[in-house]
Amino acid sequence: MPPKTTVGKLEAHTRGKPHVRALQGEDGVLILDDSIAEKPYTDENEWVCWHYDHTQGHAVKGINLITALYQRHPVAWPVGFALVSTTER
């Protein structure tokens, strides 16, 4: 089995930028999505906490994930994601 390699943020950016620039165009769009993976039975921690869910109209316990996708037909390219923690209880 080949050894695992780790790529830093700068190297990942340097490798990915030419591919993103090749896809870039006037008809491209950046799609942002705010999702909650509900975890009602998991103990609260930094990531599993209470987040307001606008689709249900109240707070739910789970993991809040924001994803970013650049799409220019017919290609879609993931460009980022972030986990959201809540400091309020």
Provide, rounded to the nearest whole percent, the portion of the chain with pLDDT above 90. 26
In a domain? residue 52: yes
Q: Decide: residue 9, CB within 10 A, 0-12 exposed, 13-18 middle, 19+ buried.
A: exposed
In a domain? residue 40: yes
Please check the confidence at residue 25 and state whether its pLDDT lies above 80: no
Extract the runs of DSSP E, i.e. beta strands, from 1-89: 29-38, 49-53, 58-72, 75-84
Q: How far is CA 83 from CA 17, 33, 68, in A?
A: 23, 12, 12
User: For residue range 44-65, what is the model confidence (pLDDT) as tens digits?
Assistant: 988 898 988 989 999 999 999 9
pTM across the whole model? 0.64
Please check the confidence at residue 9 and state whether its pLDDT lies above 80: no
Q: How far apart are CA 5 and CA 71, in angstroms?
A: 29
Number of domains in the chain: 1
Domain boundaries, position 70 = 9-84
Of 3 and 18, which is predicted with more confidence? 18
